[in-house]
Amino acid sequence: MLSDEPVNHYTLSGYQVELLPMTQLHQEQLRNWRNQAEIRQQMLSDEQISEEQQQAWFKKTERDPKQLHWVISFRQQLIGATNVKSLENGKSVAESRVLEPGLYIGERRYQGNIVAFAPTLAMYDFCFTSLATEVFRAVVKRSNVNAMSYNLKLGYKIVEDNELCVLELNQAAYEAATAPIRQFLARPARKKNK
């Protein structure tokens, strides 16, 4: 069931990042990041995205209560995108016990950097504490070694090990696995000497 109004009014902050609800203004930047070869090749659908496809996708997702999308801001710079989708029929993200997350860091200098954990931590904290979320379920290409490693560091367990691996994460495993990362990223940012 699609609404006539945008559904994501949540701005999330934590771990030195801010997650801003995705808007029309972000679409060309998102498309440029998504079309980078190193990002596109790791997606389940690895085709180049046209401007028309991006706009059609945005029009569909902005009013769909089964998904929420954010752009990631770090030090007042947009660096990537993250999202969650309900995996329960007929349930919005807010009502669903099982969510599928998505993330990509478009700015190359933050890919593979500890900063890449920050948006996931902010989003997972919000979902586990403010929504009905009990489990995150991720589907990752087995060949995507970086994403597999990333998810395992978050506390995910592999539940189906095929070409497309299915991983699941509950709140207790997440909190235990990420305690050191959350503590490190929650520290105040150091000021740069001029």
The DSSP bridge partners found for residue 157 are 168
Please tell me the CATH code under which domain 12-185 is placed. Answer: 3.40.630.30
Say whether pTM exceeds 0.85.
yes
**What is the residue extent of each domain of the chain?**
12-185
30-85 pLDDT, tens digit each:
888 888 767 656 665 677 778 998 899 899 998 899 999 999 999 999 999 999 99
Q: For residue range 10-38, what is the model confidence (pLDDT) as tens digits? A: 899 999 999 999 999 999 998 888 887 67
Distances (CA, A) of 70 to 5, 26, 164, 188, 193: 16, 10, 25, 23, 32
- Pair 97, 132: CB distance under 8 Å: yes
- Whether the Cβ atoms of residue 63 and residue 2 lie closer than 8 Å to each other: yes
